[in-house]
């Protein structure tokens, strides 16, 4: 299941990444913002993506931007909220 989520999330991240950044060199736990792959503005789009595709209600659970800055953080959140 995690692998399926991972592919979906990576597919989405490619649509919002900064141009000319090597996506494959970033480890799953690396900060996407600090590695320069996405800018902090892209977090908003990650929020909208998770709301739309995984029905995560950030108004109810609270938004911790740090959770969304790595692929593993996003996947952990999806798994936690899907239970």
Partner 1 sequence: MSLAAGFGRTARRLGQLHEDPAVVARWQAWTGPLLSRLTPPRRRALLALGALYVVVRRPLKEMAPAVDVRAPAGPLAGALVVLLCLVVVAAVYLAARHFASLPAPVRGRPQLWLHGGFWAIVVLGWLVPDRGGVVALTLSGLVLALAFLLWRMGYLLLSGQRGRMAGTRFSDHLLYLYPAYGGSGVPYGKGLDHLARHEAASEEALARSQLAGLKLLALAAIYHGLLALMAGLVYAEPRGPWSVHGLGVPRVEALLPAGARAPWAAAWSALYAGLVWDVLKMAARGHEIVGVLRLFGFNVFRNTYKPLLAPSVVEFWNRYYYYFKEMLVDFFFFPTYVRRFRRRPALRMLAATLAAAGLGNLYYHIVFNDTFLLTLDLAGLRPWLEARSFYCLLLSLGIYVSMRREQGRRGVAATAPVSISTRIRRITGVWTFFALISIWADASAATFGQRVEFFVSLFGFR
Q: Are 82 and 54 in contact (CB under 8 A)?
A: yes
Q: Work out whether 66 is an interface residue with partner 1 (CB under 8 A).
A: yes
> Judged by CB, which is closer to partner 1: 2, or 14?
14
CA distance 40 to 45: 10
Could you give the string, one character per residue 1-40, with x where binding to partner 1 holds by CB under 8 A and - elsewhere?
A: -------------xxxxxxx-----------------xxx
Q: Work out whether 58 is an interface residue with partner 1 (CB under 8 A).
A: yes
Q: Work out whether 47 is an interface residue with partner 1 (CB under 8 A).
A: yes
**Site for partner 1, rule CB under 8 A:** 14-20, 38-42, 44-45, 47-48, 51, 58-59, 62-66
């Amino acid at each position: 299941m995690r692998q399926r989520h991972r592919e979906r999330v990576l597919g989405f991240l490619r649509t919002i990444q900064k141009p000319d950044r090597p996506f494959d060199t970033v480890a799953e736990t690396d900060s996407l913002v600090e590695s320069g792959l996405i800018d902090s503005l892209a977090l908003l789009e990650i929020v909208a993506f998770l709301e739309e595709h995984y029905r995560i209600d950030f108004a109810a659970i609270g938004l911790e931007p740090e959770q969304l800055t790595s692929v593993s953080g996003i996947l952990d959140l999806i798994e936690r909220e899907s239970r």
